[in-house]
Amino acid sequence: MSNYRADFPILQQKVNDEPLVYLDNAATAQKPKAVVEALEYYYYHDNANVHRGVHTLAERATEQFEAVRQKVANFINAPSSQEIVYTKGTTEALNWVAASYGATHVKAGDEIVISYMEHHSNLVPWQQLAQKTGAVLKYIDFTATGELDLNSAEQQITDKTAIVALTQASNVLGVINPIKQVAALAHQHGAIMVVDGAQSTPHIKVDVQALDADFYAFSGHKLMAPTGIGILWGKSELLADMPPLEFGGEMIDWVQLQKTTFKAAPWKFEGGTQNIAGVIGLGAAIDYLSAIGMDRIAAHERQLVDYLLPALLEIPGVTVYGPHDPAKHTGVISFNLDNLHPHDVATALDMEGVAVRAGHHCAQPLMEHLKVAATVRASLYLYNNLEDAQRLVKALKATKEFFNHGTV
């Protein structure tokens, strides 16, 4: 897929006098020219508020804004575009489920089950809900190889469980979780299944119906769309049962002095002026990814992992967290080098033009479970190539040699 690199001008630059190798895709993805041009076209030709005007610009903006719902529905195989709610991102989407559905369906003594590998966005909202309602927050463990422990899931999910919330792909361990199996287990006990799709939607083909999820959330900026736009998908009957959380223009049906009625979902959740340009950019990003094909993207990333994961494991002093089998790994690889602080490693790599992430990755309970303070994280996407992976390995070896004043 090296020919797609030309679509990303940001990659054609040098950092610290070295060609840029961008390996921080789990944090945010770069934007192709098609997405930037879609934003530019909207602002130059169609800029108007949606749903509020009958003039030509407003009608064109509204048509584009609503058309993206169908694109999203097709992209994740949702039954209806009216199950697609625009949010700021995964974080807001998960918070809405916790604060709206959770607040009206969870009571004292109920259980909320998540896992140790959750991002804070899929942990703190449930923690707060448990504290407010008196529910019990429980955790599914993972195996020694970094995979979700289904035996632990069977033990933690009981007839008291109201909500099970899991990431589809870990932003640290680089593993795809068996959502369909856990959803079946949750439903057997009368619980709903909430899925954090932030790290999976940009990289693999997602089918919310096949997963049998009840809610699914993801962010646009991780799949090449602008920041500040995301999606909450929910089964229509669940969205209909959820009260809105923000009140104001656009989400109302009728306002009287002492009473207000609200629109149906998804519009009842979208109070005020939305991120219209972000929605249009999301549509352009989905068009771009769909033209390439999500299966092709996943296969390309797998080829890179097939090289990179064994190459990292061969470097003395490197500890990789998560599965060591490339077949069980996404393009996210977290590791540490000797006793060096991850920030020092990331800074040294940056001097070689290699951009990676270092820190706790908004997963502090997971770091505690792994008995580390932080890790270095390299994450791949479709515009990365074998040379990028080789540059990382070379730079990591140089970093080790520099700090150890020896040879690799």
Annotated catalytic residues are 362
**Cα–Cα distance between 244 and 157 in angstroms, integer?**
28
Interior/surface letters 139-170, b for 16+ CB within 10 angstroms, e for the rest: bbebeeebbbbeebbeebbeebbbbbbbbbbb
Distance CA 69, CA 81 (A): 5
User: In which element (H, E) is residue 369 found?
Assistant: helix 364-370
What are 387's two structure tokens? 């040379």
CA–CA–CA angle 302, 350, 373 (5° rounding): 75
The tokens for 392 are: 């990382």
Q: For residue 202, with 0-12 CB atoms within 10 Å meaning exposed, 13-18 middle and 19 or more buried, which class applies?
A: buried
> Residue 244 gets which letter from DSSP?
P
Buried residues in 4-22 as b, exposed as e (16+ CB within 10 A): bbebbeebeeeeeeeebbb
Q: What is the largest CA-CA distance in the chain?
A: 77
